[in-house]
Structure 1
Amino acid sequence: MATPKSSTSPWILLALASGAFAALNGLFAKLTTDTNTTSFAQSLAHLFGLDSSPFLELLVRGACLGLNVLCNIIMWALFTRALTAGPSTVKVSITNTSANFLATALFGMIIFREAVGGLWWVGAAMMGAGCILVGMREGA
């Protein structure tokens, strides 16, 4: 019996994942230098009954830097695979950028408690509409 094919093209999933890893890359880059990382290191120390030390904070920041580099590598690997599998570089780039943009906004709101107002969402919708128009212009 033949297995049914997915209606979603593989390049779309690769481009979306690439955009998500690009956003994670930015997240970990910010956590490498952000004051929230200090609070997180102190919480870890408290959780494990350790004294809060600059070494632990440095270790957490180093882990964030390592995750930053890892996410960047994964993002580029997924992006190049999406470019290879996709119908056009424009469609892959638009999908990647849109996913990155939205994931970055969500991470900012959830992790850093950044305010994203209505005007930002209007601008994001306009950018999305522009991306769709450019993608439609490219053809199927």
Structure 2
Amino acid sequence: MSSSSTQPQPSTGTSWILIAVASGAFAALNGLFAKLTTDTHTTAFAHSIAHLFGLESSSFLELLVRGLCLGLNVLCNIIMWALFTRALTAGPSTVKVSITNTSSNFLMTALLGMVIFKESVGGLWWLGAAMMGAGCILVGMREGA
């Protein structure tokens, strides 16, 4: 048996793109849950849960919600790495997979920041993001088809 048959071969399809995008999305979720572990939004959320169920706001419930966020942080990190390594195996080059992953992470982080934390993202930010995306495309094109 030749050693090349035991090595995983890169995919000629585009499935690696979806895997790399999903990996980037889970990286963004990882960051979201990391921030929620220590953010004041978590305190407000715990108080809302207590109010919804007619409970007194307690530090135990807040600690429980923060622990859940920490657990989701770790879970998203594990999923992100599993997907990223799978994309590296299936993709045509590590550069293309890394660019796709990073771009997905970057955009998803911006969207989550706007939706969850009401962060404003101005035109200059989007211009910078577009320039970074264009640079990533150029680097990916340089790698060859």
Residue from 44, 55, 74 that aligns with 2:79: 74
Residue from 31, 48, 59 that aligns with 2:36: 31
Structure 2 residue aligned with 1:124: 129
Secondary structure of residue in 1 paired with 2:113: helix
Task: Tell me the amino acid that sits aligned with residue 42 of structure 1.
Answer: H
Aligned counterparts of 1:42 and 1:29: Cα–Cα separation in 2: 19
Tell me whether 1:46 sits opposite 2:68 in the alignment. Answer: no
How many aligned positions are there? 133
Residue from 76, 90, 97 that aligns with 2:102: 97
Aligned counterparts of 1:80 and 1:50: Cα–Cα separation in 2: 44
The Cα shift of 1:48 comes to 1.1
Tell me whether 1:59 sits opposite 2:68 in the alignment. Answer: no
Aligned counterparts of 1:10 and 1:35: Cα–Cα separation in 2: 39
Query: Gaps spanning 5+ residues in structure 1: where?
Result: 1-7
Aligned counterparts of 2:49 and 2:112: Cα–Cα separation in 1: 21
Aligned counterparts of 2:101 and 2:141: Cα–Cα separation in 1: 16
Q: Percent identity?
A: 86
Question: TM-score, structure 2 length as denominator?
Answer: 0.91
Task: Tell me the amino acid that sits aligned with residue 87 of structure 1.
Answer: P
Aligned counterparts of 2:15 and 2:52: Cα–Cα separation in 1: 42
Task: Tell me the amino acid that sits aligned with residue 83 of structure 2.
Answer: L
Question: TM-score, structure 1 length as denominator?
Answer: 0.94
The Cα shift of 1:82 comes to 0.1
Structure 2 residue aligned with 1:138: 143
Please report the RMSD computed on the Cα atoms of aligned residues, expressed in angstroms. Answer: 0.6
Structure 2 residue aligned with 1:21: 26
The Cα shift of 1:135 comes to 0.3
Aligned counterparts of 2:52 and 2:83: Cα–Cα separation in 1: 36
Provide, for residues 74-116 of structure 1, a one-character-per-residue CA deviation record: whole Å limited to 9, x for no partner.
Answer: 0000000000000000000000000000000000000000110
Q: Which runs of 4+ in 1 moved over 2 A?
A: none
Task: Tell me the amino acid that sits aligned with residue 73 of structure 2.
Answer: N
